[in-house]
Structures are given as structure tokens and as C-alpha cells.
Chain A
Amino acid sequence: MPSIILSRRAFGAAAGAALALSGFAAPGVAQTPPGVLIVGQIAEPQSLDPHAVTAVNDFRILMNVYDGLVRYAPGTLQVEPALATDWEISDDGTVYTFDLREGVEFHDGTPFDAEAVVFNFERMLDEEHPYHDTGPFPLSFFFSAVDEVEAVDDGTVRFTLNEPYAPFLSNLAYPTGLIVSPEAVREHGDEFGRNPVGTGAFTFAEWQSNQRVVVERNPDYWDGAPELQAVVFRPITDANTRVAEMLSGGIDLMVEVPPTSLSQFEGPGYNVIEQAGPHVWFLILNLREGPFTDQRVRQAANYAVNKEALVNDVLEGTANVAAGPTPPAFAWAHNEDLEPYPYDPERARALLAEAGVENPEVTFYVTEGGSGMLDPVAMGTAIQADLEAVGFDVTIETYEWNTFLGRVNPGLEGEADMAEMAWMTNDPDTLPFLTLRSAAMPDEGGFNSGYYSNSEVDELLEQARRSTDQDERARLYREMQEIVHEDAPWVFVANWVQNAVTSDRVENFRLEPSFFLLLHDVVKN
């Protein structure tokens, strides 16, 4: 039986090879060295030029390599000094003068000074600037109120705005306001995004496409050198694979843990960290046509949706129930007296009867997934069931995210009665200003896709934007939230609670309400 003998031999050889290969694996695949933190990211960064990117995933790296003039104080969304030590705002709220920190150098050894700040903002905003073509800069409109940036002297820089714009400081704390090395931009041009140079706690070391971005400790950091020797950011797009890497010890820290996987990290060996963020998940209602033109029907929808069940069962506790348009993460501007609409199907039915529509037909736009959308298909289905339980007749149409935005952003008229949406912002001004004002209709370049219009709200938002006094702004936002809650142009659903898991070798790690990942104080044993 020659052929059998041969095949046995062949199989034996194959098995032997397999054993030999598995022998490679023996020396501690899973041990990561102390002092080096391996972070499991959700995707490859698009660029490490802070002015060119829009994704939270990229911000997580950038915030550790660069500084802005200001930053959010730990655990809050309140602005505190960073590269600027102090600032003055003119009485009319249009001139901001910053005193810059002395003796700070970029990682390439060039000095951080007023000229560098001017270069940064002119590169983004001035289409004639010689390095404007190193863009595009998709979020530069954060600074569209800036008329002029001047270096008064080496240590002083002055911004002149074309109108009072209260979110300016908080936009400076956002990644779009981070300061890059002008010399590095001149040297690398288009390729600056792959050769980033900032002033931050970590210096850029290496970017291997689709494998890792490595940053190393900056021993000369102005705010004290960080504890870690290095941080490695690994893109692992598949959530299950990310969980497997965490379980097998291939990464030390993972963000955006899928709700259904959290239970695997309870118990020893891991720490689960949670932090509510400036995020709102809501349903836009069409106020121009269809059943939701009637306020009672809109309120009925708010009563009908069982938000507790959504956040606890569908989202497994990775979100809180939202009460209004301003998330509690903006502690200073959030109206704590506002209670979420309770789950009350009886009340919903009564309101529908009062409005004279027992079985309103509703077309509901759902997306398959997108930035901040959590679990939109499962949530959409649960919401559909809740609404149908009180008499609504809901038809779901599901779209891929970009297609979805292309349908929803131009306005719901002629399209749908209701659509899912989520926003994550850095200032309490942004969301209502872009989505709830009469002057923010889609045909005027805003995102008010449901056509909500209330002159009181318009007035409050205008005033809040012009005021430079935070207490005054807080009062105005609180009043706005009450009115919007009552008018119910949206169904207010959830505020996302961001989570992360670390191995127990990682200490001093916390999540920030800004959703940034700050690793300056983190220790790994």
C-alpha cells in the first residue's frame, strides 16, 4: 500500500510542522513590558495633524502629542490654562489677548511663541497662506469668527473676532485648536500629518501603517514628564478581536468596549472605567408636516418610549436617560431640575386621543451605524415597538450612515416624520445653535432638520453666544432647556456613558467627559 504510506508520511510531516510552529509561541506571547502602555484603538488614525482630522479616535492620540492654548480641567469641561498662562477678554467680547507660557519648545527644538500661534491659525483660516494647501481643514469653521490673529510680542498673542462668540475658548481646547510646530509643517508639507511635532507630554516616534503609532515620553514636558516610557496605539477595528486581545493580554487598555462584552471584564485582573460624556442621542421629529406638527403627539412619543429599558437592556447600561437637549456632562450649563419624560404609555394614548389621532402613521429613518449612534438598529426597533404599543403605526427605513446623513441633513420634509440622530460636542452652545434655531434651517446651512422654531429659544441662544460671563450663559441655557423640553421637538433618549477597560497593571487612568484620552499621569507596572 505505497500510497497510504506516502500519505501517512505527508500527514506526519504536516503535523510535525504545525507542532514546530506552535513551539514559537511558547515564550510569553501575552506579556507587555512595564512602562509601555499598549492602547487598543478602534481604527487607524487618518492623520496626526490636529487641524486636518475630525474623529475622536484620532483625538485620543493627538491630545497626548500636542497642547492647545487652553485645555479642559481634569474631569470637567471647564477651560483652564495650558500653553497660555492667562488671558483677557475685552468688554464687548471680541478681543481675546493671551499671555503665552515661556520657555516651551516644540519636540523639534524650535521655540513656541506668538509667531507660532499666528502661523497655526493662519494656515487653517487664510486661503492665501503658503501652507494652506497642507490641508484640507474640515473643522476650521470652529474658528470662523476669527478676523485676525496677531503677535503683539513674543509672549503675547491677540485674536480679534468679527462678533462676540462665547464658545471660542472651549473651541481652543478642542483638538482643532492644538498648536503644531510651524517648522515641521514647512519641512514636511503635505506629509506633516505623518510626521507630527507638537509640545505635548509625548513625542511622536513611529507610525507603521495599520499596525501601530508609537509615542515616547517627553522628558522636558512643561507640565512635568509623564510616568510612561512610551505608548503604542494599535488599530483593531473589529470589536470582538479587540476584546480577544484584551483577554489574551495583547493590549493594556481598550476603549469603546461593546456593551455585551463588559461582563467578561468583571472580576480580578481588569478595571472597568466609565464616564458620561457631552453626547445626546435623540429622535428628530418633523414639525413641518405629518402627525408631529401637533405638540401633544410629540409629547406622546416622548412618554411612549421606554428609555430606561433602552439604556439598560439594549445598551446594557452604557448610557443614561436623557432629559433634554443639553447633556449633564456640561455640568455648569445643564438644568438639573429637568426630569426626563417618564415612561407612561397611558399618558401617551390619552395625548394622542386629545390630539384626535389614534393611529398616526410615521416613517422612521434608522441608520446602520455611525459616529456616536450607539446601537441604532436595535434601538430603532425597540422604539418602533414602544410607539406601536400606544397606537403609532411606524415604518422603519434603514440606511448606511453616509446615505443616511445625505437624507436627514437636508431636512425631513417629504422624506420622513422621524429620524435617529446623535451629537457629541465640546460646548453647550454648539448643538442647540446648529439644530434648534429658526435661523439654522437646512436651507440656511444649519442642521435643524425637523424645522423647530421658537423665537424665545432663538433669543436665548443668541444672547448666550454673545455673553462672556459663564454664569449668565448658564442661566440662559437652563431656560432654553426648559422651553425645548416642553415643546418636545425631539424625543430625548440617551446620553452615552463612555467606557474603557484596563488591565490591573495600569494605574491612575481615568476617562474624561471630553472623551479625550489623557495619559500624562498613567502608570503601568
Chain B
Amino acid sequence: MGSYIVKRLLSAVPVLLGITLIVFLIMALIPGDPATAILGSYATPENVERLNRQLGLDEPMWKQYFIWLGNLLQGDMGRSFALNRPVLDEVLDRFGATLVLAGTSFVLCALLGVLAGVVSAARQYGLADKAITFAVIIGISVPPFFLGMMMILLFAVRLGWLPASGMYAIYGGGDLPDLLRHLIMPALALSVVATGVIGRLSRSAMLEVLRQDFIRTARAKGVHERSVIWRHALRAAMVSIIPVLGIQAGFVISGAVYIEIVFQWPGVGRMLVDAILRRDILLVQGGVVVVAACYVMFNILVDVAQSLLDPRIKT
């Protein structure tokens, strides 16, 4: 198992390098440059050239990439042009916030989704199944950003129960209850679609398992139904549910971009959008490296978890 994890980690390195190269190429190919973005209306050729020189952007693109790569290996991601501060500081500031939001959402959608799937499957075509299936279809169909806006209108503007946006109160606050208050709406809005998807797939995975012989055997032996469902069936179904969780984790992280915008959550998604618009190539690179590394790590975790659950999967 140890050597498997090491092997997977090593194989992630070329993936990450490839991603940085692709992002760099895309940023080089799209029109516009940081100097034009910073200068706006004042972007005369003369001003652009002067600013590019000051920003160190007058070197050829391939050279810029290798300089960036060399610095990265020494732990230096460079300075953001637009924000005028080290990329690493900004990315770490932002990434923490995204982890809190996406992490909470992921836990919510995993728990609620699997729970909904199991209940649905156990009571197939029963009232609970129909109610859950209905709710799940609604959840999958509503765009999260729209749901977010509606939640703000209802809970912040109309009822005044929850703050409309941000991560902490502007004055006072800063403690855990304050964070939770700010987190409820964005985390729920972000988790709804993934909950629906996980719920649906858990249901079919459970139904699949419940039809198998070992379940019939367990029931025939007189094992308590609760134990049949939660211990025997769910454990077997998890083998096909876990990869879905892995994929949904990716969707939750990318979906955080919209939710971060709607709720003004100070996360990495909003940062990337701004950085792309400002052609802030180093900040884009830094953000992408961290997000991609996180995604790759998560996939490794999923594979490891799966092989632990199902000995038939080779490590």
C-alpha cells in the first residue's frame, strides 16, 4: 500500500507540470496582456512597453515559463501584477476560505446524499423514496447561483436571520458561531446539486447490491434489517459510491467559483476569475497549481479508500 501511494504521488508530478504548461500556453494565446489590463484606457504602446519592462514581461514566453518553473521549485510563485503582493500569500489566504466552504459542502453532500440514497433504496417506491426522488430532481435542476440569490433574498433581506455575504462579520465576530452563520447559506447552496447526484447514484448502487445473493442470505439467516442495510449492503455499495464522491468533490470545488461570487466568499475561485480577466498570469498559475494539486490528492485518496474497501482492486 505504501509503495502504491508513493507511486501515485510521483505520477501526479507530470500531471501538475502538464497543467501548468497548458495554462501558461492558454494565457499566452488569449489576446490582451497584464499591462493593457492595468492601464485600461491609458494603454498607449509606449506606456504598455514601459510597464511590461517593469513587470519583467519583455522576455520571450518560453523563457518566462522556465523562470517561473525554476522559482516554483524553490517555493517562490512570484508576485501578482494586479495585486502587487506575493502569489503564495494570496493563494494561501484564499485557499483556506475555499477549503472551509468546499469542505463543509462536501461533507454535507456526502452525508445527505448517501443517506437519501440508502433510505430511497430501502423503501423503493415507498413514500419516502418518492419524496426523496422528487427533492433530488429539484436539487439537480436548480442552478446553485440562482438558489444562492434566492436564499439571500429570503433569509438575509426578508427574514434577517443570516448575513447576506462574506465569511466573518465586519465588526466583532470572527469566532466559530460567526463563521457558521456566514457559512450556512453558501455551503447549502453549493452542496445541493452534488447531494442530488450522490443521492441518485447511491440509490441505484444500493438497489443493485440489495438484489444480490449475500443480502438474501443475510436476511434468511435472520440478520436484523437495519444491519443488512447499513452494515452489509452499504459497505458493498460504497465501492461504487466512492468514485462518485471523488468526482463530485471536483464539481464542488469548481462550483465554488459561482457561489463565492454570489456570497462574496473570499476564496480561490473568485480570485482565479479576477486574475484571468486581469491577465495576471502568475496568480492564475499559482491558483491552478494549488487547486489541481488538491484535486489530484483527492483522487489518490479515493483510489486508496476504494482499494481498502474492495480487496479485488489491485494496488
Contact = CB atoms under 8 A, between A and B. Distances in A.
Contacts, number: 188
Given A3-B226, A210-B266, A244-B165, A371 B94 contact: no
Contacts of A249: 160
A250 B165 contact: yes
A248 B37 CA distance: 34
A148 B10 CA distance: 58
B47 A138 contact: yes
A136 B54 contact: yes
Contact of A47 (B84, B180, B229): B84
B164 interface: yes
Interface stretch (B167-175, B288-296, B306-314): B167-175
Contacts of A405: 32, 36, 40-41, 43
B45 A135 contact: no
Interface stretch (A101-109, A162-170, A228-236, A291-299): A228-236
Contacts of A247: 157
B84 A210 contact: no
Given A54-B40, A209-B90, A25 B161 contact: yes
B247 interface: no
A29 B225 contact: no
B162 interface: yes
Given A25-B181, A54-B38, A209-B94, A237 B264 contact: yes
Contact of B164 (A138, A235, A237, A241): A241
* Among A21, A209, A370: residue with most chain B CB under 10 A: A209
Interface stretch (A32-40, A309-317, A513-521): A32-40
B46 interface: yes
A21 B168 CA distance: 15
* Among A194, A210, A241, A405: residue with most chain B CB under 10 A: A210
A30 B115 CA distance: 36
B84 A52 contact: yes
B149 interface: yes
Given A30-B160, A405-B32, A406-B32, A46 B84 contact: yes
Contacts of B40: 54, 370-371, 405
Contacts of B168: 211
A409 B43 contact: yes
* Contact count band on A: 35 or more
Given A7-B115, A32-B170, A405-B32, A248 B266 contact: no
Given A232-B171, A234-B166, A402 B149 contact: no
A196 to B, nearest CB: 12
A184 interface: no
A102 to B, nearest CB: 33
B270 interface: yes
Interface string B29-70: 011110111111111111100010011000000000000000
A244 B261 contact: no
B165 A241 contact: yes
B160 A138 contact: no
A92 interface: no
Interface in A435-480: 442, 445-447
A174 to B, nearest CB: 12
A7 B277 contact: no
Interface string B230-262: 100000000000000000000000000000011
B38 A47 contact: no
Contact of A241 (B45, B160, B262): B262
Interface in A116-140: 135-136, 138-139
Nearest to A211: B266
B110 interface: no
Interface string B13-38: 00000000000000000111101111
Given A21-B180, A250-B164, A402 B152 contact: no
Interface string A366-382: 00001110000000000
A376 to B, nearest CB: 14
Contacts of A33: 171
B181 A21 contact: yes
Contacts of B211: none
Interface in A13-70: 14, 21-22, 24-26, 29-30, 32-33, 36, 38, 43-44, 46-47, 49, 52, 54
A96 B210 CA distance: 89
Given A232-B170, A422-B41, 13 more contacts: A2-B225, A10-B115, A21-B184, A24-B177, A29-B160, A29-B181, A209-B93, A240-B262, A241-B263, A402-B277, A405-B32, A409-B44, A445-B45
Pairs of residues from A and B, 4 with the lowest C-beta to C-beta distance, nearest first? A402-B32, A210-B266, A136-B54, A25-B161
